[in-house]
């Protein structure tokens, strides 16, 4: 299970299904960026960061849940309708939002403890969303099972995440260096929307890893 093979397969899938992913996720991604912008402007520079987290909890589970359902359906050769995926994602929203809140809190606490615990949590929680959406697990059960599945695969998962997020962090930093604050609101919306949409590739990569690891014999048993 070479990380480069996982990234190559994921990139091929992402490019091949790009139009459907755009139609499914981009409107919600733009809505999230717009709401974040409205919150930032209404609250000012000293705004409580919890407001941004709340916006993320409202929108992120919808497009991420829909994307995971789409990935699963396409892996089985199915072509579900966008509205059906979104409807299923809405039904999953309460559990997904709770899982997102728990994951965010755990990772933030971990990052505050000399950074490394946050990285460890980011990796070991990587499969919790897929377990909740595809296996119907409750949030705490999904977290526990993600810990189990990721055991023995830490470095592989970390490399895949960094190979995707590293260039995106650099690209976002470069965009803000070229267009520093204060930015035109439309330009800021475009940058944030593009960055969030490109981050969806991480979900494609982690889905590929999830499928490979969950289908492999469990050496821990």
Residue 82 and residue 129: Cα distance in Å, rounded?
20
Non-local CB neighbours of 211 within 8 Å, separated by 6+ positions: 75
Are 197 and 128 in contact by the 8 Å Cβ rule? The answer is no
pLDDT score, position 218: 60
Of the candidates 94, 105, 108, the residue with the CA atom closest to the CA atom of residue 139: 94
Any idea which residue has 């615990």 for tokens? 117
What does each of the 221 residues of the chain score in pLDDT, given as a tens digit?
688 999 999 999 999 999 999 999 999 999 999 999 888 777 766 666 677 888 899 999 999 999 999 999 999 999 999 999 999 999 999 999 999 999 999 998 988 887 888 899 999 999 999 999 999 999 999 999 999 999 999 999 999 999 999 999 999 888 878 877 766 888 889 999 999 999 999 999 999 999 999 887 664 44
Residue 3 and residue 172: Cα distance in Å, rounded?
24
Could you give the angle at the alpha carbon of 200 between the alpha carbons of 56 and 101, nearest 5°? 30
Are 127 and 152 in contact by the 8 Å Cβ rule? The answer is no
Of the candidates 162, 165, 145, the residue with the CA atom closest to the CA atom of residue 210: 145
pTM of the model: 0.93
Residue 87 structure tokens = 């409807």
- Three-state SS string over the chain comes to CCHHHHHHHHHHHHHHCHHHHHHHHHHHHHHHHHHHHHHHHHHCCCCCCHHHHHHHHHHHHHHHHHHHHHHHHHHCCCCCCHHHHHHHHHHHHHHHHHHHHHHHHHHHHHHHCCCHHHHHHHHHCCCHHHHHHHHCCCHHHHHHHHHHHHCCCHHHHHHHHHHHHHHHHHHHHHHHHHCCCCCCHHHHHHHHHHHHHHHHHHHHHHHHHHHHHHHCCCCCC
Residue 165 and residue 149: Cα distance in Å, rounded?
22
Are 64 and 129 in contact by the 8 Å Cβ rule? The answer is yes
pLDDT score, position 46: 64
pLDDT score, position 220: 45
């Amino acid at each position: 299970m070479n990380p480069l093979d996982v990234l190559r397969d994921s990139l091929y899938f992402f490019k091949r299904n790009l139009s459907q992913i755009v139609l499914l996720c981009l409107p919600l991604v733009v809505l999230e960026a717009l709401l974040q912008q409205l919150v930032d402007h209404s609250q000012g520079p000293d705004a409580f960061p919890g407001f941004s987290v709340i916006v993320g909890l409202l929108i992120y589970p919808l497009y991420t849940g829909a994307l995971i359902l789409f990935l699963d359906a396409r892996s089985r050769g199915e072509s579900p309708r966008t509205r059906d995926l979104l409807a299923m994602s809405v039904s999953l929203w309460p559990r997904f939002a709770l899982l997102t809140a728990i994951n965010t809190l755990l990772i933030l606490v971990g990052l505050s403890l000399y950074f490394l615990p946050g990285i460890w949590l980011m990796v070991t929680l990587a499969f919790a969303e897929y377990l909740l959406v595809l296996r119907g697990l409750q949030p705490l059960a999904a977290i526990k099972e993600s810990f189990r599945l990721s055991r023995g695969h830490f470095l592989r998962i970390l490399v895949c995440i960094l190979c995707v997020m590293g260039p995106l962090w650099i690209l976002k930093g470069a965009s803000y260096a070229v267009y520093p604050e204060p930015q035109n609101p439309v330009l800021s919306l475009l940058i944030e929307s593009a960055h969030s949409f490109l981050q969806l590739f991480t979900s494609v990569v982690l889905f590929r890893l999830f499928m490979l690891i969950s289908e492999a014999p469990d050496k821990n048993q």
